[in-house]
Amino acid sequence: MSRSGQLKASLPESFLPALDVFSDGSFGYYARYRIVSEDKNRSSHYSPIYKIRPNYIFEKEPGQTLASVEYNSVGPFVEIAWDPVTIKDRVSGSVIKKALEYDVFVNWGKGETLPAPVWIYKERLEGTGLTFVHPEQYTLEDGTVELSKPNKMSVEVYLKSNNPSRSNSSLLLYKLDDQTI
């Protein structure tokens, strides 16, 4: 049977990859498609690549803010924790999913401003907490290595993306600034 006109395809959210952050600072997915015959013997060329910008909002638990990061320094370890974030549809308010994976950046220092301590992409993790080993030294943006133990740390927690970066401000969920440890 031959069909013509507009057709619609839907994918479960669980089939989607991590978000991408586009050059304009918005986020979404890159997508393209091709049409395959029912008997799978013929297929079209791939379409151009489209940017799909979902209507997502990231909602924290009531009373939680950007600075709602708990920390605890015990011996050579520093633990941080935050509440999970719910991803909702901006228009309907319906829950799409709970965010399970996050990208975490950290910097260590002693309150320097110029040159500032270097931000380090720590890791992508599944969960809402992370333990760091308190380093014995740290690096400044000008390349200077400070050979003393830092007494302050800053942490930024972002929603998982294909291109983790501190410039992904639209995906920034939590931030802890110059916390004395």
**What CATH number is given for 57-180 in this structure?**
2.60.40
Query: Which tens digit of pLDDT belongs to each residue from 65-114?
Result: 999 999 999 989 999 999 999 999 999 999 999 999 999 999 999 999 88
| Rounded-to-integer distance, Cα 37 and Cα 54, Å | 29
Closest among 59, 137, 68, 139 to 93, alpha carbons compared: 59
Give the β-pairing of 77-81 and 70-74. antiparallel
The position carrying tokens 């935050």 is 82
Residue 169's CB is within 10 A of a number of other CB atoms, namely 11
pTM: 0.88
Is the pLDDT score of 1 beyond 60? no
Could you tell me the residue ranges of all domains in the chain? 57-180
